[in-house]
Structure 1
Amino acid sequence: MRILHYGLGYQPERTGGLVKYATDLMEEQVKQGHEVAYLFPGRINIFNSSTKIKESKMRITGVTSFEIINSLPLAVFGGIKNPEKFQSKVDHSIYSNLLDYFRPDVIHVHSLMGIHKEFFEVCTEKKIKIIYTSHDYFGLSPNPTFYFNGKSWDEENDLNFWLNVSQGALGLKKIKILQIPFYSNIRDIIKKFKKRSFQKEKHFKTMENDDFSINYQESFKELINYYQGIFKLVTFFHFNSNISKKVFERNLVEKNFNYEVLPISNSTISGGKKHIELDMSKVKKITYIGQYAEFKGFTDFVDLAKKFKDRDITFEVYGENIDINLPSNVINKRRFLPLEKKKVFKNTELLIVPSRWKETFGFLGLEALDNNCPILVNENIGMKDLVSEKLIFSNLNIFFKNISSNSYKEELYLTIITFPEHTEQIINIYKKI
């Protein structure tokens, strides 16, 4: 089968679960004998603003790479300041020539960031089936997480939300800087100097529609319709959890669509039968892994540590190489290398995954289970589909108080599929459509 993927690019230029999944999936598909190509938003040419597609160097053995020069802007940090720039038109021939050259049997889209509507229109004209995997909510929302001012807005998604969430969006010039090839080389240096201490995410005053100009409102209305128009051209939705399915069902204008709910995986997952034991009477150390950010539930974890300061329990956080003010019973272990991940899980007595945003899946939880690491997960996290209801909480403080006041024990038996097996499941979806 000839498969063309669209994603955000490669590591280290792009990071996160979406990039990990897309690149791992392509590599495994090549191993299984398929012909694979990857289309992604690449460089911004400051001297020539026209859009073109250029074949770039091979980064994964057997995967042909196509780079979009001057793609649509990437709103990777949430919100859109210049809505008209996110729906710029290009000539259909740009994408038609690519599809005529590679001749894919199926298109697998991992994000709407950076890609033009004309791509989907050309695929539809050529009767090429499009599968979309729900890694984030961009397109349903200008913010990929749907999270703003301390809550998820997936149940209040109107024009006012789009206008307000974009108050803190990056301007077009800053977005273009992030697409400069060497930016990844200086990213950590910039963070080191700009982010020396953790601060709660900035909350913005909620404004009324009339506080924004009529033209600005109309431009956002057009953008909302633009993305809904793209979603209508998707042949099949692959939802990686029941949470992502519910959010999409609630926010897609077109309600009649084909889909399957299928958990995702990655190449680090060994798979097999797992036995996870949680005995709270033995837990003396509780761990958080992830960004030191409110939307990831970091502040909730720290608040939990404050409330249980008198207990004989140590709390530890991993994730970022920054200095932060923490209670005396919380240790900042900073970032660990990928090679150290198994060791971290082995030494973890209880991992809490407290995300506030409705995380479409969450590789961290899956990787913990794969390493037989006990976990508690927020009800907002998609990978909760894999665990017992007894390990899922809605309010961390109340839940933890209940389970720590008695001899709480829980055992979890499950079988995790290997990544090659998951890849076969995806191929079967391609065949189905």
Structure 2
Amino acid sequence: MKILQYIPGMPPVMVGGMIKYALDLAQEEKEAGHEIVLLVPGKFTHLHKETSKIVKRKWKSIDCYRIINSVPVSGGKGMQNVSALRMRGDKALFIKFLFKENPSIIHVHSFMGLPIAFFEAAAELRIPIVYTTHDYYGICPKAILLNDMEQCMTTDGSQCPYCIDGVMTIKKIKWQQSPIYGMLKKNPIINFLEYSQKLVPIKIYIRSMHKKYEKQRHRSESILAKIQEEQEYLEIQRYYKEMFGYVTRFHYNSIQAKEIFTQYMGNISGEVISISNKNISDRRKKRALGKKLRIGFIGRGAYKGFDLLKETLQSLFEEGLQDFECHVYFNPKEKLPPYIISHKPYKEDEMDRIYDGIDILVLPSVWKETYGLVVLEALSYGIPVIVSQSVGAKELLAGCNGMGVIVKPTKEALYEALKNVYCNRDLLERMNLKICNCDLRLNYEEHVHDMINMYEKTIILKK
């Protein structure tokens, strides 16, 4: 089988669970004997800005094609020129490319950076398309379906101009897709400056000035301009709805993802297959606990529940429950209290050390997270978890009671769960034992096999 995987970017420019999942899947499918082709957005050229082309590159012995002058990758941010997101693209270019490559199936991981002409070309050549629901991009420009930290129920785009964070220029987006930007992302000096706690006060000042500018800009915008922007987002919603119409079969990575997608899009064909990656394997063991409770938080942003966790830990500390430390793996935007220790995002070969350094993982997401792979990661090490009801991976806990705690995404609920664990450390020991004895799917090859089966069923469906 020849599989074309579309990914909205490559490391080091784009990182995160979606990118890792897609690249791991591509590598494993190749090792299983399938022919793999990658397609990603490429750079923007100064000359011939309106002309797109596809150039061939390599990534770890896999053909990796880049679309030059494609749709800007917004990354869930606002844009000054929103209409650039619905550029239709060159259908003839994609027909020529797909006819030459002749994939058996196309696996799309996001609409970001991909014009609708690609889907029109695939439909004309009768190539089936599988779409993985990593997030809600296409339904929501922010990809998280949150408006002021509450689930957004508006689907016509009318609230998007007032909800979406920040406004990026096309020039900035093009810069972030340039080869030079990719080189800078790998630079150790840039990395040091990005994660240095000593620079946090300067960063806070810069962000406050930016927010002040944004407020002034919003006030200065006329009512007519807002109405025009609302209309643009309405057109964006129609554009993505048309793109979703070309998907042959949806790969839902959780039951929750299926519920949300069908809620917004009606009865669409799909299958629930929980995700994994090549680094997840069975490393469960009986874990020793020290005097200090070590809490782990892996993620970034308020929508992942960090602000909620920070407020909860402050309440515990003020109550006198101070024998704990919380390790977070992202670049914080503010000065942190001494019991919260920030680290750079970890690399694959550091996972053993990271998970050996925590007693419990907390993921109090506020958004309706389609999965939450770090939950499976923690369980694979025998580490108990506290997750909010908004995390798709909560179904792992529902399948085997006693491996962790599911709470409402509120400070009160999280406080009670953490206080209970803090005051009853034997609870962690019982959870650890339960995890070690539960039947968990920790074999990555099984997941790849499930995806190949889904491809085969989708190909038959298209005939």
Is TM (by shorter chain) over 0.5? yes
Does structure 1 residue 367 correspond to structure 2 residue 368?
no
The corresponding residue for 1:231 is 244
CA contact (8 A) 2:132 2:252 kept: yes
Measured at CA, do residues 211 and 282 of structure 1 come closer, stay the same or move farther in structure 2, by a change above 3 Å? Answer: farther
Compared with structure 1, are the counterparts of its residues 166 and 299 closer, same or farther at alpha carbon in structure 2 (3 Å cutoff)?
closer
One-letter amino acid matched to 1:415? L
Q: Decide whether the 8 Å contact of 1:55 with 1:64 is kept in 2.
A: no
Q: Which amino acid aligns with 2:91?
A: H
Relative to its length, the structure with more helix (as a share) is 2
CA-based RMSD of the aligned residues comes to 3.0
Listed as ranges, the matches of 1:12-411 within 5 Å are: 12-61=12-61, 63-153=62-152, 155-166=153-164, 168-187=166-185, 188-189=190-191, 191=194, 196-197=200-201, 212-252=225-265, 255-271=266-282, 274=284, 284-291=293-300, 293-309=301-317, 310-320=320-330, 324-388=334-398, 391-394=405-408, 395=410, 396-402=414-420, 404=422, 408=427, 409-410=430-431, 411=434
What is aligned with 1:429? 454
Aligned to 1:6: 6
Moved more, 8-17 or 401-410: 401-410
How far is the alpha carbon of 1:427 from its aligned partner? 0.5
Measured in 2, the distance between the counterparts of 1:259 and 1:11 equals 29
Deviation at 1:319, TM superposition (A): 1.6
Counterpart-to-counterpart distance in 2, 1:237 and 1:169 = 31
After superposition, the Cα gap between the structure-2 partners of 1:330 and 1:219, relative to the gap in structure 1 and judged at 3 Å, is closer
Q: TM-score, with normalisation over the residues of structure 2?
A: 0.83
Deviations 1:358-390 (A, max 9, x none): 221122111111111221112211211211465
> What amino acid is the match of 1:374?
P
| Structure-2 separation of matches of 1:278 and 1:79 | 47
Q: Would the alpha carbon gap of residues 288 and 127 (structure 1) be closer, same or farther in structure 2, given more than 3 Å must change?
A: same
CA distance in 2 between counterparts of 1:222 and 1:427 reads: 35
Structure 2 counterpart of 1:416, one-letter code? R
For 2:306 and 2:41, locate their aligned partners in 1 and report how far apart those are by CA, in whole Å.
31
Question: Contact conserved, 1:80 with 1:166, CA < 8 A, in 2?
Answer: no
**CA deviation vs aligned residue, 1:82-141 (integer Å, no higher than 9, x gap):** 221111232311100011100011110000001111111111121111100011111101
One-letter code aligned to 2:57: K
Q: What SS class does the counterpart of residue 224 from structure 1 fall into?
A: helix
Partners of 1:209 and 1:145 in 2: how far apart? Answer: 28
TM-score (norm 1): 0.89
User: How far, CA to CA, are the matches of 2:145 and 2:388 in structure 1?
Assistant: 16
Q: CA deviation at 1:210?
A: 5.0
1:344-368 Cα shifts (integer Å, max 9, x gaps): 2122111111222222112211111
Percent identity (aligned): 29
Is the Cα contact below 8 Å between 2:254 and 2:392 reproduced in 1?
A: yes
- SS of the residue corresponding to residue 356 of structure 1 reads coil
Counterpart contact for 1:378–1:392, Cα < 8 Å: yes
1:417 equivalenced with 2:442 (yes/no): yes
* 1:336 CA drift (Å): 4.0
Structure 1's 383 and 96: CA in aligned 2 closer, same or farther, altered over 3 A? same
Cα deviation for residue 420 of structure 1 reads 1.7
- Give the Å deviation of 1:328: 3.7
Which 10-residue stretch deviates more, 16-25 or 321-330? 321-330
Matching residue's letter, 1:418:
N
**Cα offsets for 1:380-422 (capped at 9, x unmatched):** 1121121146521113124334555566443232322322221
Tell me, yes or no, if the aligned pair for 2:160 and 2:230 is still in contact at 8 Å.
Answer: no
What is the rounded CA distance, in whole Å, between the counterparts of 2:343 and 2:226 in structure 1?
A: 47
1:181-207 CA-to-partner distances (Å, cap 9, x unmatched) read 121332445735897258699698899
Report the alpha carbon displacement of residue 218 of structure 1 after superposing the two structures with TM: 2.3
Kept in 1, the 8 Å contact 2:99–2:125? The answer is no
Tell me, yes or no, if the aligned pair for 2:80 and 2:169 is still in contact at 8 Å. Answer: yes
Deviation at 1:249, TM superposition (A): 1.4
Does the Cα contact within 8 Å between 1:13 and 1:184 map onto a contact in 2?
yes
Map Cα deviations across residues 226-274 of structure 1 (whole Å, 9 max, x no partner).
Answer: 000110111000010122112211222xx231111111111101248x5
Measure, in 2, the Cα distance between the counterparts of 1:68 and 1:126: 19
Corresponding letter in the other structure for 2:56:
S
Counterpart of 1:338, as a letter, is: E
Distance in 1 between the 2:376 and 2:17 partners? Answer: 12
Residue 334 of structure 1, CA deviation: 4.6
Any stretches of 5+ residues in structure 2 without a counterpart? 459-463
* DSSP 3-state at the match of 2:327: strand
Secondary structure of residue in 1 paired with 2:439: strand
Partners of 1:96 and 1:235 lie apart in 2 by 18
